[in-house]
Amino acid sequence: MSSHKSRVLITTHNQEIALHANAKLHEPYHFKPKESWKLFLRKTFQVKSTRGVCPKELKNLGKNIAAKYKGLPLAIVVLGGLLSRKENTISS
């Protein structure tokens, strides 16, 4: 009879929940604002070089979006990927 080990992954922003589960904590890496912005630009505009790729009228909006996700790379990548499929204009 073979022995199989199981694992449970709990994701939460509340550290108390993880501590009650007697779990090993993993703190995700958070990008600094400048790193977040560059990653957002690369994913949104599908480019390697981010210099000058964002239209002026979208820059403040884009920086606010990148900042909203507090440097979490996965969130920035997912949102940038979704926005890459949209037209580069501000809609009312």
Range of the domain at 73: 29-83
Collapsing DSSP to helix, strand or coil, 5 comes out as coil
Q: Does any domain span residue 8?
A: no
CA torsion sign, 10 to 11 to 12 to 18?
A: positive
**CB contact at 8 A, 50 and 44:** no
pLDDT tens digits, 2-28 = 678 887 777 777 878 878 877 777 777
Q: Does any domain span residue 19?
A: no
The letter for the amino acid at 89 is T
pLDDT tens digits, 23-43 = 777 777 889 999 999 999 999
Q: Does any domain span residue 48?
A: yes
The letter for the amino acid at 57 is E
pTM score of the predicted model: 0.68
Tally of structural domains, the chain: 1
